[in-house]
Amino acid sequence: MMPKLEKYTDLALDYGTEYGIKILGSLLIFLIGRWVARQIVTLIKKGMGKARVDETLISFVANGTYVALIIVIVIASIGNLGVETTSFVAVFGAAGLAVGLALKDTLSNVGAAVLIIFFKPFKVGDYIEASGVEGIVASMNLFSTTLTSIDNRSIVIPNGALIAGNIINFTSNNQRRIDMIFDIDYKDDLKLAKKVILEVLLAHPSVLKEPVPIVVVGALGDNSVQLYARPWVTATAYWDTKFSITELVKLEFDKHEISIPFPQMDFHLRR
């Protein structure tokens, strides 16, 4: 009995020593690998921060890199134990494919967010029109962008849908032109009407001196002569200036007895 007991004891010691060293080595691989992964992620964050990359993209790249490195470290740790890691790689690949197929729409939003961050068609605080809605960009994450409409509604747009169509950024440039149309009657003094509108534009404090505002005859309509006014303003003053000019022109038209015609039709009765 004693020789057999010694045999099993020696065998247990041999296995314990062999696998103990492997387990310790795998643990060291994991701990050191995780530390190295954190250092790499820190360097990536610092480098992208110095390059003034958007914070959302920095977070996305850092987290993705860390997860990828941890997966490699875990596989290396398991491989050190003598376990065949090919099956683990296949399992991770299959799991990644399944998750990708299940979350393809969500991942497309993430990809769209990366494109938005790289190409920067807009930023937080810009007034944009996209996906049939418009408003001020309130916030943006990896999955969606939130706009605040003029009447203070929150509009959440998936990033994938956002870049699928045209994006109109009204505030990306410092200056904007206001396109205005004023109708006058055919019987009114055309030159006087143009002079009145131009004086309103030149006197308005928000209208820029350069480019010079213009007033021209734009079209001869069915019921009126259409005068096109084209003043330039700063992007932030667009709406207030447009509303103000509309009111001032109406008041000046009233002073000079310039009429604003309404649609009408003449009937001629024949016996």
CATH architecture of 2-102: Orthogonal Bundle (1.10)
Residue 33 has pLDDT above 90, yes or no: no
Between 195 and 19, residue with greater pLDDT:
195
ω before 211 within 30° of 0 (cis)?
yes
The angle that helices 104-119 and 55-80 make with each other, rounded to 10 degrees, is: 130
Q: What is the mean pLDDT of residues 152-179?
A: 91
pLDDT at residue 1 in the model: 47
214-220: strand order across its sheet? 180-184, 225-230, 214-220
Q: pLDDT for 232-268, tens place per residue?
A: 999 889 999 999 999 999 999 999 999 988 776 667 7
Radius of gyration of the chain (CA): 35
pLDDT in tens, 74-117: 888 877 776 666 665 566 666 565 555 544 566 678 778 878 87
List pLDDT tens digits, range 50-68.
777 666 667 767 777 888 8
CA angle 205, 208, 211 (to 5 degrees): 160
Q: Which of the listed CATH numbers 3.40.50.2300, 2.70.180.20, 2.60.120.340, 3.30.70.100 matches domain 175-255? A: 3.30.70.100
Distances (CA, A) of 4 to 1, 14, 15, 199: 5, 15, 16, 114
Q: Is the domain 121-169 a CATH 3.40.50.720 member? A: no
